[in-house]
Amino acid sequence: MSIDELMAAAKAVRERAHAPFSHFKVGCAIEDEHGRVYTGCNVENASYGLTLCAERVAVFKAISEGAGKLQRVAVVADTGTLTPPCGACRQILWEFCGDAELVLENLSGTRETMTVKQILPRPFDASFL
């Protein structure tokens, strides 16, 4: 799958975000080693603390649907400055995607590519347990 197709999937799912409080819609598409794509959008609720980010929704869907090794993550938000995953999402991305390619984009088409390790340089994982 091309990166443009993966970004298009993230943009499309972003439109399904449930963000009645913040109005901050985020979409995520994750590709596994077999080329299958799993998407997620943020889902808010009145308590905010129980809100799930798009990245975690996509990872959890991928795991529940039997994904292979997760290797590429695309995140889209409508911001002037590209929006990186929050701390909780960085942890989940590290544990389930490893040092996968991470591509951030906004609705204007500004794009940046990095790896999960670049945004979480000293991760905590099972190797410490």
Positions marked catalytic: 55
Tokens 């990872």 -> residue: 59
DSSP 64-100: HTT---EEEEEEEES-SS-----HHHHHHHHHHH-S-
- The C-alpha atoms of residue 91 and residue 96 are separated, in whole angstroms, by 9
Question: Sign of torsion, CA 53 57 63 68?
Answer: negative
Helix (H, G, I), strand (E, B) or coil at 29: strand
Do the beta carbons of residue 67 and residue 102 sit within 8 Å? no
